[in-house]
Amino acid sequence: MLEQDFYIAALIAKSVTNSLTDEEKKELEDWKNASGHNRQLFESMRREENLYDYSRRAAKYDKAAGWDGVQQRIKTARRRKIYVTFWQYAAIFLLPLIAGVVTWHFTRETEDNQVKTFIAQPVQITPGESKAVLTLGDGTVVGLGETTQEELTESGVKINVDKAELAYDKKDAEAILAKATPEEIVYNKIDIPRGGEYKLRLSDGSLVHLNSMSSLRYPVHFSGETREVELTGEAFFEVSKSQTPFIVKTKGVDIRVLGTTFNVSAYPENHYTQATLVTGSVRVDTKEGGQIMLKPSQQAELDNQSHELVVRQVDVTFYTSWVSGKIYFKDERLEDIMNTLSRWYDIQVVFADKSKKDLRFGCNLNRYEDIAPFLELLNATGRVKTKVQGHEITIY
């Protein structure tokens, strides 16, 4: 429930800056209509005289201490298993949060005590989009994402291309396998650049969602006793059921399944490789001979330096939300958060104050909106300051 409260808090703060998307406006309206209590709280937050009062209070409010207090209250509430009502939550977090946001967008006093409107300059950092580069078996390179519809053919298999998905014809692949003398296996590779994403439908019907700065090497059609693909980066797999094992090979581990849904994160710059299971079951094999079976909502994490393999119970939403257009973080290091955002928004992040890397935050973002609302909320915590120049964000 606390995660939902954080989300509503963000929507209310964003409504002050008029940065809600149409979908978020509907979500906020539905929340207001759910009870008179909710509407009363919202109207109180948005009342003009209150907004100005919040902006004046923000100058004196110790946001760092306030944020620490919020986190302590949340931890205490969880230990005692007490439900924190939204009204209580608003008292300790919403008011100072909105005060911080309003400081940027509302009014400030001039030297002669006159009030004038201050509008923050918009941050022109837009989200990523569907784009990729396909390399065929003969070395031909095809740009994906701009063409609305195209059909290719390789090794007897039709490849249907549209703006967001590349699909290999399953019937053609099955016809090849039915031949007495199967053709030589030809491999293709799809690369996703910074600020990109793309979907791939393999010849067995399995669907792969590929995240920014990821690549997948795979056969045009599967043959033999296994279905093998090689991943660098992050992908969400929806594997079609078959008696032939499906294996995802990464730098640190191999993930073996028959039919299931799971997420794999194996970016070279990260010190870990993660496999998070949503449905079904998977077996994780390390290069050193370790092996573990995962159940739904479990995650296997391999430390790429120590080679230690750890299994934990997780909320899979935080690791798969990117597939459905959201980005969730819960008590994550700021450096890890910004690394994730830098890949999607195609930005460079500089920590002028290195100590800020280890600050921990949680947030709920719309993957397809501008980054400005997130930066405003980050600044509103009072724990960091951000400066934007072009596609570079400096954190102080």
Highest mean pLDDT among 27-31, 305-309, 384-388: 384-388
Better-scored residue on pLDDT, 131 or 122: 131
Q: Rounded distance, CA 124 to CA 134, Å?
A: 29
* 26, pLDDT greater than 70: yes
Task: Choose between 200 and 331: higher pLDDT.
Answer: 200
**Among candidate residues 152, 150, 148, the one with its CA nearest the CA of residue 163:** 148
Predicted confidence at residue 66, as pLDDT, reads 53
pLDDT exceeds cutoff 80 at 354: yes
Percentage of the chain beyond pLDDT 90 is 47
- pLDDT at res. 17: 56
Mean pLDDT confidence for 73-85: 44
Q: Given this model, what pLDDT does residue 108 score?
A: 37
**Helix-strand-coil percent breakdown of the chain, rounded to 5?**
35, 35, 35
Flag the least confident range among 98-107, 187-196, 269-278, 357-366: 98-107
Residue 47 has pLDDT above 70, yes or no: no
Asked if the model's pLDDT at residue 113 lies above 80, the reply is no
Residue with the larger pLDDT of the pair 160 and 118: 160
List the chain domain ranges. Answer: 2-117, 130-319, 325-395
Q: What is the model's pLDDT at position 322?
A: 95
Query: Whole-angstrom Cα distance, residue 69 to residue 51?
Result: 23
Average of per-residue pLDDT across 354-374: 90
What does the alpha-carbon distance between residue 354 and residue 292 come to, in Å, rounded to a whole number? 37
348: helix, coil or strand? strand
For the ranges 8-12, 165-169, 193-197, 369-373, the lowest mean pLDDT is seen at 8-12
Q: Is the pLDDT of residue 97 over 60?
A: no
How far apart are alpha carbons 246 and 264 in whole angstroms? 14
pLDDT at 147 over 60: yes
Cα gap 360→9, rounded to integer Å: 18
- What is the arithmetic mean of pLDDT over 317-331? 91
State residue 57's pLDDT score.
Answer: 47
Q: Give the confidence band of 68 by pLDDT, cuts at 50, 70, 90.
A: low
- Average pLDDT of the chain is 80
The two beta strands, 196-201 and 165-168, are parallel
Share of the chain above pLDDT 70, in %: 75
* Residue-wise pLDDT tens digits, 261-285: 999 999 998 889 999 999 999 999 9
- Predicted confidence at residue 30, as pLDDT, reads 86
pLDDT tier, 78 (very low <50, low <70, confident <90, very high otherwise): very low
Residue with tokens 């280890």: 358
Q: pLDDT grade, residue 188 (50/70/90)? A: very high
* Assigned fold of 130-319: Jelly Rolls (2.60.120)
> What is the helix (H) or strand (E) element at residue 249, kind and residue range?
strand 246-249
- Look at domain 325-395 and name its CATH class: alpha beta
The pLDDT-based confidence of 102 (bands split at 50, 70, 90) is very low
**pLDDT band at residue 75, thresholds of 50, 70 and 90?**
low
356 versus 80: the higher-pLDDT residue is: 356
Question: Averaged over 179-199, what is the pLDDT?
Answer: 86
Q: Is the pTM of this model over 0.85?
A: no
Phi first, then psi, for residue 385 (nearest 5°) are -125, 145
* Of 91 and 245, the one with more pLDDT: 245
- Is the pLDDT reported for residue 73 higher than 80? no
Higher-confidence residue of 67 and 125: namely: 125
Residue 110: pLDDT above 60? no
In which band, very low, low, confident or very high, does the pLDDT at 337 lie, cut at 50, 70 and 90?
Answer: very high
Instruction: Give the residue with greater pLDDT, 264 vs 125.
Output: 264
Is the distance from CB of 156 to CB of 168 less than 8 angstroms? Answer: no
Mean pLDDT on 314-330:
92
pLDDT score of 77: 47
